Structure 1
Amino acid sequence: MALPRVAWEGGPAYYGTYPVARAAAWTDPSFFPIGVWYEGVLTQGHVDLDRAAGLNTYVMLTSDSDLGLIRRNGMFAMVDDVGVGPGAETTGWVLNDEVDMWGGAGNGTWTGRYPGEGNICVSGRYDCGHDVMKRLSAQFPSGDGRLRYANFGKGVMFWQSDSKAAAFVNGYTSVTSNDIYWYTDPNVCTSPSEGPTYGVTATTCRRAANYGLTMDRMRELDAKDGKRQPIYAFVEVGHPFKENDAPTITGDQVAGAVMNSLIHEARGIIYFNHNFGGSCISQHVLRDCGRNTTRPKVTEVNARIKALAPVLNTQSYQWRFNPALDTMLKAYGDSYYIFAMPGRTGGTGAQRLILPPGLTGAKAEVLFENRTVPISGGAIEDSFAKEFSYHIYKITR
């Protein structure tokens, strides 16, 4: 189409420069990373449960996990310890989690301590995050063909200047993410240094579209050095905060958060699988507490991602179908695909999607819904019942 493209890192071809990821077929357009954070893998039953939910990658593992079991089952891992005997299944190293928060921005000196062990930085202030990242990076072999991954948090998202935040995002990793839990964080909606800095209000905070906001922030920072890396989305699946009166995410909200992240160009999904509060404390929510709540929707959306991986792994077109909606346009084979859902401040109810010039047809198939919608006057009209509702349209040329 005669439309500009959304900037990207190159899709699956990006992994081709990392021999271990390439050998693991991460360059295959039909593969899309779907991970779970800090899980334990000790038995075949664990793997069976995780694969049935549509997971394919473990990002951080408990120290007693069996990498051989993961390898034999065709699953993948990113680990934080070179001493665990990594093999073909280990496509990446995990540098650490949220150093931007517990180490802070700055070039001070790290004491070597972690949160809860005393002063993090020699100065006694939070000013040594970059020294932390440098020293953690040095623990892993150089040029061994594996990706380097780190997750960041509110420092990069909210608290730090663009230059300081970009230094974290661009300085140490080949894959990265940010974990802002818009549906369940008890502070993110109201703290003046968090959501409100992006115009998020108490009434617009608990929305799937804000997970896209996180993606936009990370992509903006990632672009500042003129190079791009895959940005993964982080989505909670339960009650990740200790406060029992904090919200618990629902299955529909999980699916909406995942889909909005994809619309905002997420190249992978990671699920936060821990409950620190609520009625069921667990480190394995998708295996136990969430079996009848979030797991069914996680399984459903993961199956849809797998089915659409060749589409998702193409470079998107730039086109705004409706300012009230978050949308994405892709082409694959002889079809165009439109992903749409309500935006950050509206978009529910009846909506009209204006198609770009040259995109014509009599009707659009609504994938996974067993229905079609007519194309009339160069537009599609459809309804979005909830803020987390989404539709995927396929228009065959």
Structure 2
Amino acid sequence: MKRKTLLTGATVGAGLLLAIAAVSAVLPLNQPAATPSSQPPTTTTATTTPGVSLRPVDGGPDYYARFAHGLPADPSYFPLGVWSESVVDPGNVAQDKQVGLNTYVALTANSDIQLALDSGMYAIPAIGAPAANGHPSANGFLLTDEVDMWAGPGSGAWSGNYPGEGPICAPAASQCGYTVQSERHKAAPPGTMLYANYGKGVAFWESDAEAQGFFNGVQDLVSADTYWFTDPGICSRTEGGAVVKYAKDLTPAECRLAANYGWTVDRLRKLSSSGNPTPVWAFVEAGHPFDNAPAALTITGPQLRAAVWSSLIHGARGIIYFNHSFGGQCATQHVLRDCAGEVQQTVTSLNKQITGLAPVLNAPFLDGATVPTGPVDTTTKVLDHTAYVFAGANTSAGGTATIHLACGGSSAVVIDENRSIPVVDGTFTDTFIDGNAVHLYRIQGSSACGF
């Protein structure tokens, strides 16, 4: 759940898009949304090694190229976005590039989208927002933000209002989130990529059936903002504690955990159509996204890095940084520009690392190729006959983990750590010092199970 501010600095309710205009024409209600460009089936290819299979990234490697003015299909591009940032002069873009960003999501109302595009950045503005204004070269459009929270899971009539503008559904006590998404979809430029962000409704409050109503051919790209490290309320039994694993108020060790960002990605992938998940981008906060309430926190550099990598380990196809701080030591709407220090340095080095690994992140998964024993989540990728294993702690204490390699190998080179671990009898062991520990391995001498 995000808080957002208008350019004047006045706070508005959750889900109200910055400078988004209501659709001018009232479209027929309760009609199914037009089906987005079809995705190729998500297939797996079995190997001769039992239990190991090859799986493409969600949507396939060329997914973005199928849309009008789509994002690059080049494997060297991995989306590193920033939410609701302003672009008013070349210096803004220069600052954002300096920290490794490459994509703007929901530009502010005063932004110059052409300047952003001409500067080599990519842009996904909101439909109807002044920053978009029907711009012919936008790389996609944002349908809505957190409609699951402010309109609810239902097909009632939509008044056309957004939060703060009057009754949203008709009658006022009804729910109309499905209708909002359908009508926003019809208002979008044909053939463009449509993106939607959801909140605590889809993540926690709604049943699977209710949440899946938002995944019925509406968007081509999806995210959900669950700020596990900083949200003062997310640890309660009605929010993060509502997940099946817990069903209770969470302790700090259970709640303030990088692995929960991976859980959010898993939740969205589960809600997608069977066997064909919609690509998921992960939201990670870059500052202090809530006010100075006692339980509100500021994310640290190690927490941010671990949250991003947990999301990637669980299949996120892009990252969006929430760039606004409403409390803490650096209150600003431009955290990555204004707040020099640990988080800014972490994002810069992290984005450089992700960009360098983009061809690997865009490569297929080698499911079943690694079996961890110990407190870690892992995923395996294969590129050019080389296997890569990404591992992140999944408990607050961390610990020692042993990873068995079904496809063999002689050593695990730990990327960006200047060390290598011998593989003995198909396994290697490493230490994860705490819940924010992440290690990335390139497996030398692996058969990659024939791929």
TM-score band, normalised by the shorter chain? Answer: over 0.9
CA distance in 1, matches of 2:110, 2:200: 30
Of all paired residues, the percent bearing the same amino acid is 43
Provide the rounded CA distance (Å) in 2 between the counterparts of 1:243 and 1:175.
33
2:80 to 22, 34, 43: 34
Q: How many residues align?
A: 386
1:191 is matched by which residue type in structure 2? Answer: R
Helix, strand or coil for the counterpart of 2:303? helix
Correspondence 1:325 to 2:376: yes
The separation in 2 between residues aligned to 1:49 and 1:193, in whole angstroms, is 36
Return 5+ residue gaps in structure 2 as ranges: 1-46, 446-451
Q: Which residue of 1 aligns with 2:178?
A: 130
TM-score by length of 2: 0.82
* Cα distance in 2 for residues equivalent to 1:274 and 1:346: 26
Structure 2 match to 1:190: 236
Counterpart position of 2:124: 78
How far residue 125 of structure 1 moved from its aligned partner, in angstroms, is 1.9
Change (3 A) 1:325 1:347: farther
Q: 1:87 to 1:8 in 2, by over 3 A?
A: same
The equivalent position to 1:341 in structure 2, one of 382, 386, 392, is 392
CA distance in 1, matches of 2:338, 2:432: 31
Letter aligned with residue 260 of structure 1: S
Inter-partner Cα distance in structure 2 for 1:346 and 1:81? 40
Counterpart CA distance in 1 for 2:100 and 2:239 is 36
For structure 1, the 5+ residue unaligned runs are none
Shift of 1:318: 1.7
Q: Which residue, out of 255, 264, 271, partners 2:305?
A: 255
Measured after TM superposition, the shift of residue 341 of structure 1 is 1.2
The alpha carbon displacement at 1:137 in A equals 1.8
Correspondence for 2:144 among 79, 91, 96? 96
Specify the SS of the correspondent of 2:324. Answer: coil
Among 12, 18, 24, the alignment partner of 2:61 is: 12
CA distance 1:253–1:126, change in 2 (3 Å): farther
**Residues 169, 176 of structure 1: 8 Å contact kept:** no
| Partner Cα separation in structure 1 for residue 245 and residue 77 of structure 2 | 36
Distance 1:193 1:288, change over 3 A: closer
Match runs of 1:1-397 below 5 Å:
2=49, 3-6=52-55, 8-21=57-70, 24=71, 26-82=72-128, 84-88=133-137, 90-143=138-191, 146-200=192-246, 201-202=250-251, 203-224=253-274, 226-245=275-294, 246-289=296-339, 291-319=340-368, 320-322=371-373, 324-343=375-394, 345=395, 348-356=398-406, 358-361=407-410, 363-397=411-445
Question: 1:113: Cα distance to partner?
Answer: 1.4
TM-score under structure 1 normalisation? Answer: 0.93
8 A contact 1:330–1:338 mirrored in 2: yes
Distance of 1:101 and 1:272 partners within structure 2:
18
> Does the 8 Å contact 1:184/1:239 carry over to 2?
yes
Q: 1:379 to 1:275 in 2, by over 3 A?
A: same
Q: Cα gap change, 1:60/1:193 in structure 2, threshold over 3 Å: closer, same or farther?
A: closer
* Contact 1:348/1:384 (<8 A) preserved: yes
Report the CA distance shift for 1:86/1:123 in structure 2 as closer, same or farther (over 3 A): same
Per-residue deviation, 1:7: 6.4
Shift of 1:19: 3.4
8 Å Cα contact 2:212/2:271 also seen in 1: yes
Q: Which amino acid aligns with 1:311?
A: V
Q: Shift of residue 277 of structure 1?
A: 2.1
CA contact (8 A) 2:240 2:255 kept: no
Deviation at 1:309, TM superposition (A): 0.6
**CA displacement 1:195-252 (0-9 Å, x = unmatched):** 343335213110100000000000000133x533211000001111124321110011
Contact map agreement 1:324 1:346 (CA 8 A) in 2: no
SS of residue paired to 1:327: strand
Structure number with higher helix proportion: 1
For residues 272 and 79 of structure 2, the distance between their equivalents in structure 1, rounded to whole angstroms, comes to 19
Q: CA deviation at 1:347?
A: 6.7
Deviation at 1:190, TM superposition (A): 1.7
Are 2:375 and 2:399, in contact at CA under 8 Å, matched by a contact in 1?
no
Write the distance in 1 (CA, Å) between the matches of 2:68 and 2:290.
38
The whole-number CA distance in structure 2 between the counterparts of 1:6 and 1:347 is 32
What are the Cα deviations for residues 302-347 of structure 1, in whole angstroms up to 9, with x where unaligned?
Answer: 111100111000121223323521001111114210101111x467
Contact 2:229–2:297 (CA under 8 A) maintained in structure 1: yes
